[in-house]
Structures are given as structure tokens and as C-alpha cells.
Amino acid sequence: MRKRVALAQVLILDPRLLLMDEPFSALDVHTRSLMGNELLALWSADRKSVLFITHDLEEAIALADRVVVLSAEPASRIVGEYVIDLPRPRDVAEARLGPRFIELQREIWQLLKTEVQRSHAVTH
């Protein structure tokens, strides 16, 4: 409920850009899915730009029109950019079941896995 109130408080200010840095990370999987659907419904209503930062690849694909993958090093740079062409309106849980979602997940994970492995090699 606190996450919903916080989101409502921000939206009242009517920002042109909504910056969301790991907003659902502390939520259980079911609430996270419901909040994702709420965010998609709010976005559909006014189409504001949303910069959504997450470490959850499935969440990124389910919510986004575009996914940008950053490098693992401290001075991050863009290493990949993917157009998410899943149809809208979209349900976060149901979108994950489709063949295009799975295809996008595999494609993006290949690049992301390389970055994760590079990060672990440097730190260990």
C-alpha cells in the first residue's frame, strides 16, 4: 500500500518524466505483478515518459517498450538496446507466457549473462 501511495504522490505533481529506480524490488511476486499492471494502466492513460530501472529482466520486458542493457563496470555504458514489440494492452503475468516474450528474454539474457560473468570475473 505504501508503494501505491508513493506513486500517487508523485503523479499528483504531474511530472513530464517519471524516474522509477527499483520501485517494486521489496514486493512479493504477486504484489509486484499487480503494481506492474497498475503502472501500465497509468501509463496508458497519459503516456508520460517513464525511466524504469530494474535488475529483473522479466520485469523490464513485461513493462517496457525498450530495454537498455548497461555494462557491469563502474563507469557504465550502453552495451545493448532492444525494442520490446509485445502488444498492448499488456498484463504483466500473462505477457511472460508468450513466445515473443520468451524469445526476447533469451536474446537479451545472452548479452546480460556476458556482462554478469565479466563483473564476477573482475570482483573475484
Residue 108's domain is classified under what CATH number?
A: 3.40.50.300
What is the CB neighbour count within 10 angstroms for residue 36? 22
Task: Identify the CA nearest to 65 among candidates 79, 78, 51.
Answer: 51
CA-angle at 44, arms to 58 and 105, nearest 5° = 15
Helices of type H across 23-89: 29-46, 57-63
pLDDT score, position 107: 97
Residue 76: pLDDT over 80: yes
Please state the pTM of the whole predicted model.
0.86
Q: Which residues contact 58 (CB under 8 A, 6 or more apart)?
A: 96, 105
Task: Identify the CA nearest to 36 among candidates 100, 89, 81.
Answer: 89
Residue 3: pLDDT over 70: no
pLDDT: is 93 or 12 the higher one? 93
Range of the domain at 92: 2-123
Confidence of residue 86 (pLDDT cuts 50, 70, 90): very high
pLDDT score, position 60: 97
What is the CB neighbour count within 10 angstroms for residue 67? 19
Alpha-carbon torsion angle 89, 90, 91, 94, nearest 10: 130
Confidence of residue 51 (pLDDT cuts 50, 70, 90): very high
SS3 of residue 116 by DSSP:
helix
Q: How many domains does the chain have?
A: 1
